Amino acid sequence: MDKADIKSNLKNVNQWTRILYMILFAVIFNVASFVIGVVVLAQALFAIVTGGQNDNVQKLGTGLAYYISEILSYLTYTAEEKPFPFKSWPDVDLPAPSESQVEEVAVEEVAVEEVVVEEVVVEEVVVEEVVIDTDVADSAK
């Protein structure tokens, strides 16, 4: 590379513009990294309190992860397209529940149905006792 090429590159407005955007996205990257840390803590708290994850927090975390990936691609010259807000926010699809999660929900639903069935049987027994008591009381008169 000779001096003329270097001089031409130094005067290239597109390179300087990209460098300014890179500085902006480096700052955004640091803010997004902090927010990811908050999301991790929030998801951990939800898991402790409720025993499962919060879908909204998971969707936010997944979107931020994709966004950070886009920022890093731009900063490393892997991608030429500037990330959000110069293009749309990354689409996020939540992963399908695993088989163990589906089985847990099915077991909970079966348990709820069994309780309901037991309540119905208990109510019928009580009603039959009242009827039997009434019949016995009528025959005693």
Q: What pTM was computed for the model?
A: 0.63
Long-range pairs, 95-101, Cβ under 8 A, ≥24: none
Contacts of residue 45, defined as CB under 8 A and 6 or more positions apart, other chains included, come to none
Angle between helices 13-50 and 55-75 (to 10 degrees): 160
H helices of 51-98, in order, are 55-75
* Ranges 28-32, 81-85, 120-124: which has the least confidence: 120-124
> pLDDT confidence of 92, banded at 50, 70, 90?
confident
> pLDDT confidence of 2, banded at 50, 70, 90?
confident
* Cα–Cα distances in angstroms (integers) from residue 80 to residues 13, 15, 18, in the given order: 15, 12, 9
| pLDDT, averaged across the chain | 80
> pLDDT confidence of 66, banded at 50, 70, 90?
very high
Answer whether residue 76 shows pLDDT above 90. Answer: yes
Answer whether residue 18 shows pLDDT above 90. Answer: yes
Instruction: Output the CA torsion sign for 39, 45, 46, 52.
Output: positive
